[in-house]
Amino acid sequence: MNLPRVIIRPPAYSRDSLARQSAPIQAAPNDATLSPSLRIAAGPKLPAFEVKFQLTEEKAAAVERFVRTRLSLDPHADATFNHQYRTTTLYCDTADFDVFYHEGPFKREKHRLRRYGHDENLFLERKYRRADRVKKRRSIIPEEELPLVFSAEMADDWDAAWFRDEILEGTLRPACRISYDRRAYFGEIDAAPLRFTFDRNIRGITTTDWNVDPFEGGTRLSEKFVVCEMKFQNEMPSFFKDLARDLAVEPGRFSKYRAFMHTVLILK
């Protein structure tokens, strides 16, 4: 796949470099509103991609006007909350922050627990990323089953046993909670599923608790920009080429988890 030139580069994090710097989604697996990385495609399974943008609010508003003419608002969002939903994600890492530093088996993987609004269900996810290509595995559990995530006593036929096993094997533990307000659009372009999201009010807090409750306050990450993501399968849709040409936007890379933890580790 030939992606447009990327001009925003992620920071080159390393232990040495940091030392030198002193309403809920209840979607079925084949629901058209889901991220393409979670969709069940008819026929051969197609690869999924995610491309991110960091845009000023003015530029994001222009992009959203463009997107709105081609895609539909996610019906799972809260119409009383400006067609957004509050997302709270608990990210896991090792005691040595191997996920943050891209080390060992966590070079391309993240494990996280997610809640939409105040819903009683939690989404357990493993996300694998290589360049712009992504794979996700997800299970949904009621909040009352959360203690089983870090317990070796649960039967292996539990729906989320795979997540529990990977947490225990990797000695993963809570590192931070990230919250943001997301407005999402979905549809099909060139006969392929496409999802476009706009994340605002991104903020985080450190934590050592298995807690996925929404929170107020925290460290703001997005006062000057909006994080946009385009998610698609197989090939870059012509929709993006129109967007890039008409609005002069180019993709970059941004990790909410690493952006927040970068600040935390520098300030230690």
Q: Virtual CA dihedral for 238, 241, 243, 245, nearest 10 degrees?
A: -150
Give residue 33's pLDDT: 56
Q: Residue 175 — φ and ψ, nearest 5°?
A: -120, -40
Taking 70 as the threshold, does the pLDDT of residue 2 lie above it? no
pLDDT band for 23, please (50, 70, 90 cuts).
Answer: very low
Taking 50 as the threshold, does the pLDDT of residue 3 lie above it? no
Q: Which of 196-200, 209-213, 242-246 has the lowest mean pLDDT?
A: 242-246
pLDDT in tens, 202-233: 999 999 999 999 999 999 987 779 999 999 88
Q: Which two tokens stand for residue 201?
A: 């009010």
Q: Which two tokens stand for residue 37?
A: 């990385």
Taking 60 as the threshold, does the pLDDT of residue 265 lie above it? yes
Q: Which of 195, 184, 176, 185 is nearest to 255 (CA)?
A: 176
CA 103 to CA 253: how far, in whole Å?
A: 19
The DSSP call for residue 131 is: T
Taking 90 as the threshold, does the pLDDT of residue 152 lie above it? no
Q: Which two tokens stand for residue 101?
A: 């530093």
Give residue 259's pLDDT: 92
- The answer to whether 217 touches 37, Cβ cutoff 8 Å, is no
pLDDT in tens, 84-134: 999 999 999 999 999 999 998 898 899 999 999 999 999 999 999 888 788
Taking 80 as the threshold, does the pLDDT of residue 17 lie above it? no
Q: 47: Cβ–Cβ under 8 A, 6 or more apart, which residues?
A: 133, 233, 234
Strand, coil or helix: 183: strand
Please tell me which residue, 98 or 41, carries the higher pLDDT value. Answer: 98
- The answer to whether 193 touches 186, Cβ cutoff 8 Å, is yes
Give residue 224's pLDDT: 79
pTM: 0.83
